[in-house]
Structure 1
Amino acid sequence: MREWRFVLSKKWLGYLGIAVAFAIICVLLSHWQWDRRSENLALQDKLDANYNAKPVSIDSVLPTLHSYDSSDEFKPLRLTGHYLTSKTYLARDISYNGYPGFDVLVPLQLASGRVFIIDRGWVATGNDHDYPDSIPTPPKGEVTVVARLAPAQGDVPGRTDPKGVNEVARIQPADIAKKTGLTAYTAAYGKLKSETPSPGAANLPKPALKPQVDWSLNLSYAIQWVMFALAAFGFLIYVIRQEYDARYSDEEDQRWLEEERERKRQKRGPTDADIEDHELDEAGYSSSRPGTMIGR
């Protein structure tokens, strides 16, 4: 074991300290990713609970035109009114399963006179132009709508509403209210779940997809950081072994060669020269001094 005492030198103790420090950082990062996973799982549970909740009145979650609480996201609202079809807007650059298109935004005027923007769903970009081939029309007259609550989208630098068309760059009810002069809820809008009476499948855009919080990446990163910590010690052991080989490999190789020669000799058995020497010894001759008789 004396050969391994070099690992107790300041240099190798310093390397060990670096490996330990790196491993501690990796463990802390792994723990952080694990906490993020737990947070995302809790967020998914909350979204699932809201998504599957029974519909409530708009006044119970939006008491004023400008109020919104993120804890109410995706809660279904039951609203009764009539669509203002002539004031339909299209939200540009909306992706649906990887395909480009638009979301159809139609104001729903309630009995109170207030307007709540309904996102009726997605339609594809046209085959030969940069707008839909057709826009499904909502039911006429009084309609009961169930829509899931969603927050108004924020601004994106460099993106502005196209001029001269009923299109918007972001889904912002306040922007639509300003363009139309309507008294609307400005902090949130609704993603359509159902309409009564139903306009039929032909007049329904594709509904919004159920939200999913991706927590699998957090789990993967947590495991990876633990593996990095273990790899640090594995690399240190590898470097120590390389140093050991550089110091003592010649002696070990020579010892191994001698042992290998002896093993092969014993496996092969005595040679003719060995047998002859043995017979000469038995006859009284010294194999080390040929021709000399040793008296008995």
Structure 2
Amino acid sequence: MYRFLLSRRWLITLLIALLLIPTTVRLGFWQLHRHEARVDRNELIARSLTDPPVPFDTLSAAPGFAVPKDLTWRTVTASGQYDPAHEFVVRKRTDSSGDKIGYFVVTPLVLADGAGTVLVNRGWVASGNSAIEYPAVPAAPAGQVTLTGRLRADEAAGGSIKDRAGLPDRQFNLISSTQQAKDTGAALLGGYLELTATQPAPADQPELLPEPNHSDIGPHMAYAIQWWLFTALIPVGFVVMARREAKDRRKEAAETEGLAVPVPA
């Protein structure tokens, strides 16, 4: 009764099912690995934000220094004086709500211990009336300041961030110590500080950037389970289809036999 499984149509169906099973299994593990990566990232951020602050220059080096992944978001401190002459803004950045487009304000801080200069992302400001004009930016505090912030790696061109030439004066698309060291000649340390607090506190300052979200694990585990459930349904579905086909064939055979029975005279 199941000899129809040797037909071309059913052999093709079986082949597709056999190909789908390892594919959906791999897709499930892909989502599982994404879940694990998200959990690791959240744990790294939570640990970095709660570790005792350390001086910025103990973790960084020359311009272009690649901040290790396990040091990203680490709470750091820095003391010195701002260098407003080399301040710049970074275009196409959103505020804490993610709804408004504006600029990040980045001001170099000359370290008091003479170890070099640190780029400080002081926060977000709204766009002005013209994209080619420098926006209204609260002045950096004068005199000696002590900062606390998060260690961040230089931004690289790629993805949604493009490094384009021909921008207005003191406007950039990236926060890059390499780029700024080349343009200004300053002895910059690699990476930058994302400001969270200033002592003494200024009367006016850009909108500080919020702490990164490290509680959301995303939907990847649910997606992994869905793929594996679909994997289990593939052979079940094939068996159900085959049994239904066999049942229909038996019914057709019985009806054919019934029509073939001779009627007595």
State whether TM-score is above 0.5: yes
Alpha-carbon offset, residue 94 of structure 1: 1.1
Task: Give the alignment's TM-score, normalised by structure 2.
Answer: 0.80
Cross-structure match for 1:287: none
CA distance in 2, matches of 1:18, 1:163: 53
Cross-structure match for 2:130: 129
Unaligned runs of 5+ in 2: 257-265
Alpha-carbon offset, residue 228 of structure 1: 2.4
1:155-177 Cα deviation digits (max 9, x unpaired): 24863244451111111122222
CA distance in 2, matches of 1:246, 1:166: 76
Cross-structure match for 1:207: 208
Q: Flag the 1:253–1:142 CA change in 2: closer, same or farther, 3 A.
A: farther
SS at match of 2:54: coil
Cross-structure match for 2:85: 86
CA distance in 2, matches of 1:194, 1:62: 20
SS at match of 1:216: coil
Q: Percent identity?
A: 23
1:231-270 Cα deviation digits (max 9, x unpaired): 323432343244234313347789xxxxxxxxxxxxxxxx
Alignment partner of 1:152 out of 146, 151, 154? 154
CA distance in 2, matches of 1:43, 1:173: 24
Q: Flag the 1:194–1:21 CA change in 2: closer, same or farther, 3 A.
A: same
CA contact (8 A) 2:162 2:173 kept: no
More helix by share: 1
- Higher RCO (CA-CA < 8 Å; seq separation 6+): 2
Cross-structure match for 1:38: 36
Cross-structure match for 1:232: 234
CA contact (8 A) 1:101 1:132 kept: no
CA distance in 2, matches of 1:198, 1:252: 91
Cross-structure match for 2:199: 196
Alignment of 1:51-200 (within 5 A): 51-67=49-65, 68-96=67-95, 97-113=98-114, 114-126=116-128, 128-130=129-131, 134-156=136-158, 159-185=163-189, 187-200=190-203
Q: Flag the 1:158–1:192 CA change in 2: closer, same or farther, 3 A.
A: closer
Aligned length: 248
CA distance in 2, matches of 1:198, 1:133: 22
CA contact (8 A) 2:35 2:218 kept: yes
Alignment partner of 1:23 out of 21, 24, 43? 21
Alpha-carbon offset, residue 58 of structure 1: 2.3
CA contact (8 A) 1:102 1:132 kept: no
Q: Flag the 1:241–1:119 CA change in 2: closer, same or farther, 3 A.
A: same
CA contact (8 A) 1:162 1:168 kept: no
SS at match of 1:175: helix
CA distance in 1, matches of 2:56, 2:248: 77
Name the stretch that deviates more: 220-229 or 59-68.
Answer: 59-68
Q: Flag the 1:234–1:132 CA change in 2: closer, same or farther, 3 A.
A: farther
CA contact (8 A) 2:154 2:175 kept: yes
1:197-224 Cα deviation digits (max 9, x unpaired): 0003xx2212223224664232133123
Name the stretch that deviates more: 35-44 or 152-161.
Answer: 152-161
Alpha-carbon offset, residue 123 of structure 1: 1.0
Alpha-carbon offset, residue 77 of structure 1: 1.4
Alpha-carbon offset, residue 132 of structure 1: 6.6
Alpha-carbon offset, residue 47 of structure 1: 1.5
Alpha-carbon offset, residue 10 of structure 1: 7.0
Unaligned runs of 5+ in 1: 255-296
Which amino acid is 1:52 matched to?
Answer: T
CA distance in 2, matches of 1:243, 1:32: 35
Which amino acid is 1:181 matched to?
Answer: G
Which amino acid is 1:223 matched to?
Answer: I
Q: Which of the pair has more CA radius of gyration?
A: 1
CA contact (8 A) 2:102 2:127 kept: yes
Which amino acid is 2:191 matched to?
Answer: A
Alpha-carbon offset, residue 119 of structure 1: 0.2
